[in-house]
Structures are given as C-alpha cells and as structure tokens.
Structure 1
Amino acid sequence: MSRPTGRHFLQIPGPSNVPDEVLRAMSAPTIDHRGPDFAELGRTVLDGVGPVFGTTNPVVIYPSSGTGAWEAALVNTLSPGDRVLSFETGHFALLWQKMAGELGLQVDLVPGDWRHGVDPDVVEERLTADTGHEVKAVCVVHNETSTGVTSRVAEVRAAIDRAGHPALLLVDTISSLGSIDYRHDEWGVDVTVSGSQKGLMLPPGLGFNAVSDKALEASRSAGLKRSYWDWEPILEANQRGFWPYTPATNLLYGLREALRILDEEGLANVFARHQRHAEATRAAVRGWGLEILCADEREHSGVLTAILLPDGHDADQVRRVILERYDMSLGAGLGKVAGTVFRIGHLGHFNDLTLAGTLAGVQMGLRLAGVPIDDRGIEAALARLEQP
C-alpha cells in the first residue's frame, strides 16, 4: 500500500488528538524546574486545573499515567486489609479493583454485564448492610472507556449519604474529565483520578488526584506504603509552585495551553459539544441498524460510543479494513467484549466535520467488511449535526 496522504484519523477514545497550539507550547525550551519562571508556570497550572475538576481543593499532578493516579488514590487513603466496594462496569473498573487487591486491600466486587453503570440502589443496599462500617472506600469509574457507559456519580453520592456511611468516594475520570460534566466538590467526591491524554487534549504522561478535606484527613493515618505517590511532600512543594522531584516541564507547558483553550470555549460549551457529537454518533449507529453497547439511555457516554456487531462478524476485522483503506484508527473491544465491539472516540479536539468524516469512514468500512447495514446511518448523523 502506498503511503497515505493527509492526516491520520485518530478516533480511539484516547489518547485523543492534540491541538497544534498545545504541541507548539510543548516545544518551548525546557527551563530550570527550581527557578522563578517555573514557579510561575507551576502556580498557573495548579490554579487553572481546579475548575476543570469542579473543585477549590488541591489537585495533585504527577508525571505518570492514569494507572499511577489510581494507585496514588488508594495508597494515600487506605490501609492494608481495608475493604473497598468496587463495581464491574467494564475492563478498566476490573483493572482498578485488581490493583486494589494487589496492594493488600479486600475488594468486594459487584458483578456487572458491561452494559450498565454503577447502580446507586446497590450502593445504598451494600452500605446499609455494612453496619460495622468495614467498607472504607467506594470505587467508581465515571466513564468506562471500554464500554461507553457513564455512571451517575451524583446519584452514587446520594446513595452513600442515604446509607449514612462514612466510606470515601473514589472516582476515575480518566476518560471523562474536560469532556463530560463533572463536579468534584458538589458531588462530594473524595479523590478524583484523571489523566492528561483524553479530554485535556495532551499526550499521555500526567496523572491527577483531586483531593477533598476528608481524603486529606484520611491520608494522615492511612497505612499503605507510599513514597513517590505521597501527597504530603507534593502539596507542600506546590505551595511555592514547585514539585519535590523533577516534574514533566514540557507537559506542563502543554497543560497551561490546554487549560487556556478549555477556558476560552467555556466548559459548559465543551460539555454541550461532546453531547451533541455523541448524539450524532448514536444516530448513525441506529441508522445502520446496529446496537449500542450501553443499554441505559441515562448512561450514554459523551466521549465514545461502543458498537456491537451482529453474530458472525469480527469487530477487529472491521477495524483492520478501516485502518488499511481509510487510515483511521478505532478503539478495539477489550476484555470480554473483544472481537464483538469496536469503539468510536468523539472527544477532545474535535468538530462537526471531523465527526462526519469519521462516520463516513466507518460506514464505508462496515460495508467493505461485509457487515449488513442500512446506508441511512450517515444521513441520520448529518441531520443531527445540522441542528445546533
């Protein structure tokens, strides 16, 4: 095959496309991370990232993946043998609960079908039954990247409150932050975990913990071993705009620019844009006569859509056809939906024409791969995009 022309379509649900302005910002010369110019950069990003989380409390920024931020949330708040309540909403929820077990925590895993989010009624039932308050934390993935299901975190918080339970609420927003409405303070979240490579429109490499006062208090007596992930020395150095180790300076340049872009558009507009693109994508899927993996209308994701293929059709083969013919990457099915699902990412630095091109490529690829579809899928999507 000859070398493809034009830009590659990266339509996986993260890492997402990085704006040119962010790439240019990251290309600036690296500066002394102990000097006054860096202190100004540090204070700017630390002050600017809070509103994206919906918090006035500290946000800890690590040079790490989202997986590192998962570990930081657990080791700073819990002790060996503590029980945590976790939910099988998809591949990444299972990976987080697996990490918790490897760290010496006891995990109560609520089974799931990968088509629904966390059930607030089950949260209330489990915690009401825990009269001895043995459960120390509830772990929720806000937007499950493997399934396109968004759990209703505000309702989970209300369920915890109805049960009168003191458990911490730990929430993974790795694929939702900066794309889907999220309110750390208002929803009473204790630790919000995130990463740089999705709604924040950066390359991978930064992990985040937004931390409540309750979580900070828990960290003072938490007994899990921690060193690199320890909040205390980082927060102390952050007061002066610094970190206690060498930070990812050029990624912080990019973060400063990404925060400027989000602020310029306005977070409410960012969220509305993502929902509109998600609605257009779902219109296409239904128009093709295919099935969306997420089974609850209230839980459809604004950042990706996972699509089930009919029996006898291989989702990975569809992805291969689309990559080879149209130079577009789509998300693979993960875990127990591997081969039966493919995922379209519609998040971050994204607009109507990019989505129209993406869906046109998917429609052509489905036909080339022999999947029986109705060609009116793209028409349904375009009709939605013609509306505000």
Structure 2
Amino acid sequence: MRRKVAQAVASSLWKTPATISERANTYIRTFAAAPYSYTPPGRNHLAVPGPVNIHEQVMRAMDRPSQNHRDPWFPPFFQQILEDTKYIFKTTEGTPFIFPGTGTGGWEVALTNTLSPGDKVVTFRYGQFSHLWIDMMQRLGLDVQVVEVEWGGGADEAKLEQILKADTDKKIKAVAVVHNETTTGVTSDIGQVRQVMDSVSHPALLLVDGVSSIGALDFRFDEWKVDAAVTGSQKALSLPTGLGLVAVSQKALEARKTAQLKRVYYDLEDQLATNPSGNVPYTPSIPLLYGLRETLGLIKAEGMDNVIARHHRLAEGTRKAVEGWGLKLLCKEPRWNSDSLTVIKTPEGVDSGKIVKEAYSRYNLSLGVGLSEVAGKVFRIGHLGNNDEVMVGSYLFGAEMAMISAGVPIEPGSGVSKAIEYWAATSNVIPTRG
C-alpha cells in the first residue's frame, strides 16, 4: 500500500502548481521519509567528486564472509597491498600506511607525526577543504601562517618564495598544500612548490593533501620530494569511504622521533612495529582491503599514465560542454584546471542549489553542491575514478536538463554536442582479446 501511495505521489508531483524548489523539496521529503519508499527506475547517476562509482569487479571482491586477520593468510595479503599502494603515489622510497579512517585522519597523521606544539606551518586557504585542514592545524596548537587566495585560485608560488626567503632563521617547519581543492576545481602545482622550496634551500617538510588527486592526477611523491601525502578510498580509488592512505618520506620518519604533538590512534610508531611482519595494530576493514587490492590491480592494468590521460580527456570534454553552455569555470587560470572535477559558475540570479535539486528529484542525478563561500553560486561535476566517456556524457546530459528545468537559459544540446565532438576525436579504442 505504501508503495502505491508513493508511486501516486511521484506521478502527480509535477502536475502540482508549485515552484521548482517546492516540488524538489516535496519529492525529497516524501521519498526519504517513507519506510517503503518509491525507487525510481534505472539507477542513480553519481556525478559528485566523491564518493564515486565503484567498479563491479571491486564490489564483487568486497562481497565475502568475515575473516580473521590473525590467521596466517593475512600477513602476505596485507604486505602485498602495502607494496602496491606505492604505485599510485609514484614512490619507491616512501613508506606507505593504511588506516581504517578517512583522508581527514590522514591529515592528522601527517601533522602529528612530524610536528610539535608551536611549530610554524605555511599553508594556503582557497577552498573548504584547505580551510578545514587549517582548522585542524590551529586546533592542534600549531602556529599557522595562512596565505589567503581568492577561491578559484591555486597555491601562489611567488608568495611562498617571498615567505621562505624571509625566514632566515628557518623557523618554518612545514609547507602544507591541498593539491586538488574539491570545492573550487583547482589543482595546484606541487612540482613548482617543491622547486621554490629548493631554490631557497629551505629545509621545511612538504605535506600534501592528495585526497582527490592521487590515483587520478599526475602525482610524483619521489620526484617532488613530498614528505607526507594523504589520500582516501572514496575518491579516485573508487571504493567506499573508510580507508586513509598515507605515504611518508624517510625525512618525515626522522622528524617523527622529535615530534611532540599528541597522537594515539594515528601514531606511526604502532604501524611501524606491526606492518613489516604484515600485521596491523588494530582491527582492519577486511572487505575494504579486498576492494583496495582489486582497484589497485585495475589501475596497474590500465597503467597510471593512461589513468591520468583518461581523467584529462574526461575533464576536457566536460570543459568543452561548459563552453558550449556559455558558462564559466570557477577556476581562475587554465594551468590550475582540475581533471578530477569541474566547478561551474551559475548565471547571476540563479541559485545553483535549484539545479542540484532538480537534477536529483527529476532525473536521479547527483551533482555536487556549492560549499561555504561559493554556496548557491556553483555546482560541481565529478569525473574522477571509475568513469568513462558515456558515463560522464550522461552527467552532462542530465545537467543540461536540470539547468533548463531550473530556468538557466541554455540551448538543449549546446554543451553535450561539444563534449561529443571532443571525445569522438580523442577517445581511445578499447583493446579487445582475440
């Protein structure tokens, strides 16, 4: 009976004279609250920059009965996973760690294992996630010098050079950078940051949030001499939330010996005491580890450089669509364009939240909302992780319909056609087996 009521509401919802926002809110209230809610046909199209679409092989790999990680099978299993994670960081010199947690936990690992109360850190604020990392630094008792950047900009290498040159006493202990700012669709240049640090011979540690970049974008732990890099399972690795992955340099491991920030769960000492033998200091998420093993295998089979090229191709097609719509990116300079997601500014007077609601409630499409300072001003299309041209093309198709429903004056097909033209000319032929 409840299902019939829900279906009746769904069929009549759009006949009710109401504003777009009221219709969307009615849909959400009705179907989110119903114990036996109406399920639309088809599938939810997940076009946010995390969580992302999970590959079928990965879902099958995670679907298994519980196992005891104290049994003999676990050490070689876990040791191989640790070794394979080096591939996505592009490191042979760094030491990888896997925590049951998230990228936020990884932030804490990087800070607490390398720094002491009152240590000076230079960092950039240009989005919600860089802001949250700064908040963590301050709450941990660090002396944080924040370089404020207009949202849509990236790490200012020239400003960093000025700051490091002025630090003649070398009091700055770390430079912390969010590589890909998911709020704004901006990818900062970590290679240039390292060049600046080396050009002034500054000994500060380089700490990098790679939560929405590692496994999707070009990231070179060894070449860029990164000291701690963090990512999370729900982004480019295309897994459920629940794993925080951290790679740490030998320099950072040495810093750990004198670091005085309080740490318990995120203390690398416990991992270092157990990981070499293939063990862990606390209960791991075994299904997620099976999923991680499978997704790392898929990435290695595709090849990291091919993964990077695929993400660039999907992002360029999306940016072509934005041009076709006559809209603008939030990202200020092409050199900072993110290949993980595209953040699109809405026309003056158009609340981007209406577009997101229309996409979900009418077309079963999940788009990213604008966060914090850009709430209501932008919407976000994620194209990282397990995605291909047809999948991202469906997001663009749905975004067009949602924008038209929300009153954005665009021509149907104006963006999708541009993406099609680009992908038709650039996409690879999928190799087949004879």
Task: Provide, for residues 201-222 of structure 1, a one-character-per-residue CA deviation record: whole Å limited to 9, x for no partner.
Answer: 1100000110001100000100
Shifted more, 147-156 versus 227-236: the winner is 227-236
Rounded to whole Å, the distance in 1 between the matches of 2:120 and 2:226 is 18
Contact 1:290 1:373 in 2 (8 A): no
Residue in structure 2 matched with residue 67 of structure 1 by the alignment: 104
Tell me, what secondary structure is at the counterpart of 1:94?
A: helix
* Structure 2 residue 181 is matched with structure 1 residue 181: no
Structure 1 position 44, deviation (Å): 1.3
- Percent identical among aligned pairs is 49
* Cα distance in 1, alignment partners of residues 159 and 211 from structure 2: 24
Could you report, residue by residue, the CA deviation over 1:97-124 in whole angstroms, capped at 9, with x for unpaired residues? 0100000001100011111110111111
Please list every run of at least 4 consecutive aligned residues from structure 1 whose deviation after the TM superposition is greater than 4 angstroms: none
Give the aligned CA root-mean-square deviation in angstroms. Answer: 0.9
Greater C-alpha radius of gyration: 2
Contact (CA 8 Å) 1:289, 1:374: kept in 2 or not?
Answer: no
Aligned AA (2:67) = I
1:284 aligns with 2:321: yes
1:349 and 2:394 correspond: no
Alignment of 1:25-104 (within 5 A): 25-56=61-92, 57-104=94-141
Q: Which letter maps to 1:267?
A: M
| Aligned residues of 1:139 and 1:170 also touching (Cα < 8 A) | yes
Give the equivalent residue in structure 2 for 1:162: 199
1:334-371 deviation digits (Å, cap 9, x = unpaired): 11000101000011111111111110110111111111
Please state if 1:380 is matched with 2:418. Answer: yes
Q: CA deviation at 1:51?
A: 1.1
**Structure 1, residues 102-151: CA drift from partner, whole Å, max 9, x if none?**
00001100011111110111111111101111111111000001110000
Deviation at 1:373, TM superposition (A): 1.9
Residue of structure 1 equivalent to 2:20: none
Tell me which of 235, 253, 260 is aligned to 1:198: 235
- Aligned position for 1:327: 364
Any conservation in 2 of the 1:322–1:365 contact (CA below 8 Å)?
A: yes
Letter in 1 for 2:210: T
- CA drift of 1:30 comes to 2.3
Provide the rounded CA distance (Å) in 2 between the counterparts of 1:245 and 1:323. Answer: 39
How many angstroms does 1:374 deviate by? 3.6
Structure 1 unpaired stretches of 5+: none
Q: Does 1:264 align with 2:301?
A: yes
Counterpart of 1:22 in structure 2 is 58
Indicate whether 1:313 and 2:353 are aligned. Answer: no
Alignment partner of 2:245: what SS?
strand
Deviates more, 1:33-42 or 1:175-184: 33-42
TM-score by length of 2: 0.88
SS at match of 1:209: strand
Matched, 1:119 2:156: yes
Conservation of the 8 A alpha-carbon contact between 1:91 and 1:146 = yes
- Measure how far apart 1:238 and its partner are: 0.8
Mapped partners of 2:415, 2:393: distance in 1: 11
Report the secondary structure of 1:36's partner residue: coil
Deviation at 1:236, TM superposition (A): 2.4
Equivalent position of 1:368 in the other structure: 405
